[in-house]
Amino acid sequence: MARPLNFRQLEAFRAVMLTGSMTAAGHVMSISQPAVSRLIRDLEYELKLGLFQRQGVQIIPTEAALRLYREVERHFSGADRIREAARAIRLSTAGYLHVGAMPNLATHCLPEAIGLLLQQHPDVVVSVHPDSSINLVSMLRHAQLDIVFGGPPGDLDGLEHDPFPATQAVCVMPARHPLADRKRISVNDLDGQDFVALGQASRQRMQLNGAMLEAGVKPNIRVETMHSSSVIGYVSRGVGIAIIDPIAIIGAHLPSVAIRPFTPTISLEFSAMYRRHMPKPAAAAPLTRVLKQVVADKLAELDARIPRATDRRRPGRV
């Protein structure tokens, strides 16, 4: 049976490939250049492969070395993942919090909330993973995250959730668009308009499609984007108008964009989600409380920009 390869020899080989010389590899490994050369010779003998050729003072990796390096790098990447997992396990006992969040929340609201959290809990370490709600819920179920801020799935089996107040979609358009003269936009106003749409899998897109189908409305879709946070960029450049959740507008540069209320109601519901019957990190609940306040404050600021046909209250606001 073949004996296991010597890890130190592989480490020397990797160091030489990364640094380009035996001397530099020795510095990285805190050993002498002759010691590195000996490890490389022993590895070549063990594998029966020529790995380097000398050209003056330089060494050139052979084709065999290049191919071997790809396999060695996979080995070290696996070892690095194990070290990172061990680090996460160590830190989890000291207040490590794995957070998943919808990109809109992760970009603007969550940084402020985490900043406030750390003022009260300075020993907490927070790891943030932005992604779609579907992917985040899957990671939560597989214990890769401690808490998720996203849209709850239809099947909440194994999960508990703390809902945030629902938000209502608004219409955004270039500031000089003809529809900007109106105080409120209805689904009928979208007919024939150049339009920036969310991806087909978006819940908001599904709700809007149903409303347009019922009204017999068909906009001229110019761009379809999977991430609502990118919608404002297209609208501000005159590509078209859009129906978007106000969370996606928070933090955007808006001088060239008009925002109007939209009917019928297109809502977004999202929650803080945890695994049921599993202990929560101590910082999870405080982060949820702070994030709720940050979201509420930012939505109130945004609300002040939206003209009203009647009063200043946001229709249907929770």
- The 10 Å Cβ neighbour count of residue 123 is 9
Lowest mean pLDDT among 35-44, 148-157, 215-224, 265-274: 148-157
Q: In sequence order, what are the residues at sequence separation of 6 or more whose Cβ sits closer than 8 angstroms to the Cβ of residue 158?
A: 141, 275, 276
- Alpha-carbon distances, residue 151 vs 138, 141, 162, 204 (angstroms): 12, 14, 11, 11
- Among residues 226, 185, 235, the alpha carbon closest in space to that of 204 is found at 226
Domains of the chain, each with CATH number or no CATH: 7-90 (1.10.10.10), 94-163+270-300 (3.40.190.10), 167-268 (3.40.190.10)
Q: What is the pLDDT of residue 317?
A: 37
pLDDT digits over 144-197, tens only? 899 999 988 878 888 888 999 888 999 999 999 999 999 999 999 999 999 999
Report the alpha-carbon distance of residue 302 to residue 245 in Å, rounded. Answer: 12
Report the alpha-carbon distance of residue 244 to residue 228 in Å, rounded. Answer: 7
pLDDT digits over 37-70, tens only? 999 999 898 888 899 988 877 889 999 889 888 8
Q: What is the pLDDT of residue 87?
A: 63
pLDDT band at 229 (very low <50, low <70, confident <90, very high): confident
DSSP string, 230-281: GHHHHHHTTS-BEEE-GGGTTT---TTEEEEEEES--EE--EEEEETTSPPP
Q: In sequence order, what are the residues at sequence separation of 6 or more whose Cβ sits closer than 8 angstroms to the Cβ of residue 97?
A: 124, 125, 126, 127, 146, 147, 281, 283, 284, 287
Cα 103 to chain centroid, rounded: 5
Task: Please tell me the pTM assigned to this model.
Answer: 0.64
3-state secondary structure of 308: coil
Q: What is the pLDDT of residue 224?
A: 92
3-state secondary structure of 217: coil
